[in-house]
Chains A and B, each alone.
Chain A
Amino acid sequence: MTYSEKVMEHFSNPRNVGEIKNPDGLGEAGNPQCGDIMKIYLKVRDDAGGSAVIEDVKFKTFGCASAIASSSMATEMIKGKTVDEAWELTNTAVAEALDGLPPIKMHCSVLAEEAIHRALSDYREKRGLAAVPIREHDHEHEAV
């Protein structure tokens, strides 16, 4: 199993590592199978026009290189986007942006998608917005 250069680059120098104090959205996702955990913190700017923008995003991840690179890439992909745009981010898009992940490591990117969805749901809840159902992933090796 080898990782793409992109994965190794994001793994070695992950972007957006850390926490945000009093985040507007906080999401945590875990993989029951291998025991990995990812936490996403969001800072959202609510514009008058109604488009809420993700001003800042940070993550903390316990997991393999694929999990860390996925966290890093996913946070880059949603930074500066509206919350609605961020909601559309899929784990396959994250994996593609990383020039692919080994099949057995695809589930690590699912963690990123789920943690972001949870953070966005938390944000909606805090703002009193209606909940949007979170896409369920099958935690078996879906891509294997």
Chain B
Amino acid sequence: MQNVYLDHAATTPMDPEVLEAMTPYFTEVFGNPSSIYSFAAKSRAAIEKARGQVAAALNALPEEIFFTSSGTEADNWALKGTFEKLSAKGGHIITTKIEHHAVLHTGEYLEKTGGAGVTYLPVDAEGRIRMEDLKGAVTDKTVLVSVMFANNEIGTIQPVGEIGRFCRERGVLFHTDAVQAAAQLDIDVKELFIDMMSLSAHKMYGPKGTGAFYLRKGLKLENFVHGGGQEKGKRASTENVAGIVGMGAAVEKMKARLSQEKPRLSTLRDRLINGVLKAIPHAKLNGAMGEERLPNNTNFSFIGIEGETLLLDLDAKGISASTGSACTSGSLEPSHVLMAIGLTHEQAHGSLRLSLGRSTTDEQINYVLDMLPPIVAKRREMSPVWEKFLEA
């Protein structure tokens, strides 16, 4: 049986070269970076090298990069750190309805415990915010705008540069969760007027458990983890040296491959999209098309189908995918992103995300295009919702 991994938006396999770069830091070069002896200086140097690698990829300065345990942690830091520092000026935060839960739930937490006011901007049918909505939402009390660079479910890329410029002019801080985007796109934090940004290593063939937070020079947030002097005392705790080294190596390699990988994936993506829309009646693409979509993301809705059944049927054929169906969510709520772009419950139920990556080949796309249509047909055959849809 084929083994076709199409869930790169969830996580990616570690690049063997990245692993190789990390390995010595588990065993031989184990010194605590905070120690004084020369042996420990090697660990320190490794961290600083990684910081430089991440900074270079983003056109940032090394001192603007702070390592964290995850993208989620960086999101938490951006919201809580800004709010705590600036709540006296007004505790208003603007974000969107389609953020990752790391931002949404942090926003809700600050509303509940800190008295923050949070505005959740709506998005259009393709998942983009409207600049007028953002402009209309900013008040004198607004301290932070947090809009994700590109959405993890539907792949829609936001007008980040425009948002950044507007925020800079209004004197409001701008944070973007680039956990998905940073693995797929060239990002220049200066050009895009980004003040804060969250990154994660495991979405870009690096290790799980390592993330980074970009904080523009000169900006002051509340420290996030209190303890020793690591990460300039802003994010204390003994550094995850191997993980940090892995993140540096992963970012550098990702960046070097981008000019080839981006067009390659975009072509595969469009072939998959067009193939699915052609082969499956009443299939719907969720999210934007072309340049405004992540090169590795596809997301469909098949009316009359429930997503969990689709995933299990695909799994039986060796294909790993993901869905926004209520039946798989644990809370039995459909994906908030799909609801925000205006899908019905039933359309969200029948959603399927196939996210491509380095291992994805032409043959794999052919294989999916062979396997998927009969699976959808078989499950529709037994679906009263499909029956009703056909009658209508």
Residues of chain A whose beta carbon lies under 8 Å from any beta carbon of chain B: 8, 11-12, 14, 17-18, 28, 33-39, 59-65, 67-68, 104, 141
Contact = CB atoms under 8 A, between A and B. Distances in A.
Contact of B349 (A14, A28, A35, A59): A35
A65 B332 contact: no
B384 A11 contact: no
A61 B382 contact: yes
Contacts of A14: 382
Interface string B332-373: 100000000000011001000000000000000000000000
B308 interface: yes
Contacts of A35: 326, 345-346, 349
A17 B346 contact: no
Given A33-B332, A35-B346, A36-B327, A65 B384 contact: no
Contact of B382 (A33, A36, A65, A68): A68
8 contacts: A12-B316, A34-B332, A60-B384, A60-B387, A62-B384, A62-B386, A64-B306, A64-B327
B382 A38 contact: no
Given A37-B385, A61-B384, A63-B309, 5 more contacts: A11-B312, A35-B326, A60-B384, A64-B308, A104-B330
B335 to A, nearest CB: 13
Contacts, number: 61
B389 to A, nearest CB: 10
Q: What range describes how many residues of B lie at the interface?
A: 20 to 34
Contacts of B328: 64
Given A62-B306, A64-B308, A104-B330, A39 B384 contact: yes
B163 to A, nearest CB: 35
Contacts of B330: 104
Interface centre among B330, B345, B386, B387 (most CB of A within 10 A): B387
B383 interface: yes
Nearest to A107: B332
B340 to A, nearest CB: 17
B133 interface: no
Contacts of B326: 33-35
B162 interface: no
Contact of B308 (A8, A17, A65): A65
What's the dominant secondary structure at chain A's contact region?
mixed
Interface of B: 304-306, 308-309, 312-313, 316, 325-328, 330, 332, 345-346, 349, 381-387
Contacts of A65: 308-309, 312
Nearest to B382: A17
A62 B312 contact: no
Q: Please name the 6 residue pairs, one residue from A and one from B, whose CB atoms are nearest each other, closest first.
A: A64-B327, A62-B385, A64-B308, A34-B326, A62-B383, A60-B384
A57 B345 CA distance: 29
A144 to B, nearest CB: 10
A61 B308 contact: no
B380 to A, nearest CB: 9
A69 B308 CA distance: 13
A38 B387 CA distance: 12
Contacts of A36: 306, 327
A8 B308 CA distance: 12
Nearest to A14: B382
Nearest to B331: A104
Nearest to B316: A12
Given A11-B312, A34-B326, A34-B332, A63 B387 contact: no
A36 B325 CA distance: 11
Contacts of B304: 62
B383 A61 contact: yes
A12 B385 CA distance: 19
Contacts of A60: 382-384, 387
A28 B304 CA distance: 16
Which of B304, B306, B316 has the largest number of chain A CB atoms within 10 A? B306
Contacts of B381: 17
Nearest to B383: A62
A64 B383 CA distance: 11
Nearest to A141: B332
B10 to A, nearest CB: 16
Nearest to A18: B382
Contacts of B386: 62
